[in-house]
Amino acid sequence: MLMKPAKVRATAAQILARLIRQQGSLASLLPRASDVAEADQNQMALLRELCFGTCRWYHKLERDLATMLDKPLKNKDIDIHCLLLVGMYQLEHMRLADHAAVNETVNATALLKKGWAKSLVNGVLRQYQRQLASRETGADVVALTYTDWMVDSIQTDWPQHASQILAAGNQHPPMTLRVNLSRVSRAAYLDELAAAGITAHAGSLADSAVYLEQARAVTVLPGFSDGLISVQDEASQLIPGLLLADAGQRILDACAAPGGKTCHVLETLAQAGGEPQILLALDIEARRLERIEENLQRLLLAGPGTRLLAADSSEPDNWWDGVPFDRILLDAPCSATGIIRRQPDIKVLRKAEDVARLVILQHKLLTNLWSCLAPGGSMVYSTCSVLRAENDRQIVQFLSATPDAEEIPISAEWGVSADAGRQLLPSEHGPDGFYFAVLRKNAG
């Protein structure tokens, strides 16, 4: 039995209520939602759109809702609060018939066992519908979809690019593929897509990147199950070209899950006919390593030198055998402000104090992992953040405090040169926001 339209709205409201209560992210809450197993492909797409879209416009919707309520709803009725946001999002941003959007959202009150809210939801949505034509639009509205602290941080760090960054965060992201160049050329794979009736074009930054004109389920993409491609944004596909790992080296991927970069490094080595002496992929959560193992198997990369370990990479004494690594990739935990378009719930979940905590963790990772790097070896530090405290300022501070660390300048035409390293800013039809720095450990 399929989910009824009202049930999709009610489920979206329940998911968002848990999100606002800090009980998880969309990535964790959506798969666990009740009755999702009953949803067909179209209903699941609608549920995702309601959840992701409401998060994308959450702060503006909250401001608008506050003007239409005589008083805030009680905490126990946060599901009705979220249902109102879902209804408002449908009216303003989705191509649904207004009467259907309103009626099915009103009907959802009964499924939430809040029949008393039927007239409230109907009244608020009808009022919002009437007001839409007169509500402000444009760049000023984009800023209203973010928290004040996030807007201030981005405007301070990137005064010339803030509008671009904020606007990109409200766009639907492109679906980008990484072609396994050890198995097939990008040109040949583009031909396979064309033969399957799928419109795509090559990326301009990474020689493995392919952009699809429309997102597709991976199950319909030629060669996915055979390991010819993976889904990965073009920005993170630049990492192997910065890491420059060679066959026979000891390589550490310090924060590896879900494994896209681990697999890409192995693909790059295989393309040159080699493999690492060891590639150790760490993640602090054991369950996340399962995804890496699945990708290694699908891509036929699970060689004897590849090892997965659940460990806290900031505490090498607990897992390191003392043999130095030639290459270390530190894709550090960060605010994820460069990938908001992919994870719009960041707008709801991320707090200003999180950034200060993350900066401390990043410094600890940099400092402690540096001891694991062989003299003459190099480390790539990367984040999917656009905040300079996590990026070039973090690296400048590390370099000033670490006598045997030297920056290797990144010679590239992409992105923006920073005080240290290079910053890619998110763009509407291009890559996510990403930061990179390459550091070498001097001998002696």
Token digits for 411?
């010679």
Give the CA radius of gyration of the chain. 23
Residue 348 to residues 17, 52, 215: CA-CA distances in angstroms?
11, 11, 25
**Catalytic position from the list 82, 263, 372, 384:** 384
Token digits for 262?
């681990």
Q: 421, 438, 310, 284: which is closest to 373 by C-alpha?
A: 438
Secondary structure percentages of the chain, helix, strand, coil, to 5: 50, 15, 40
The backbone region for 336, taken as left when phi is positive above 0, alpha when psi lies in -120 to 50, beta otherwise, is left
Distance between CA atoms of residues 386 and 424, nearest Å? 8
In contact, 428 and 171? CB cutoff 8 Å? yes
How would you list the strands of the sheet with 200-202, edge to edge? 200-202, 209-212, 175-179, 229-231
Token digits for 159?
């005064």
**Active-site residue 384, yes or no?**
yes
Q: 288, 282, 363, 290: which is closest to 320 by C-alpha?
A: 282
Distance between CA atoms of residues 292 and 331, nearest Å? 15
Q: CB atoms < 10 A from the CB of 296, how many?
A: 20
- Give me the active site residues, please: 384
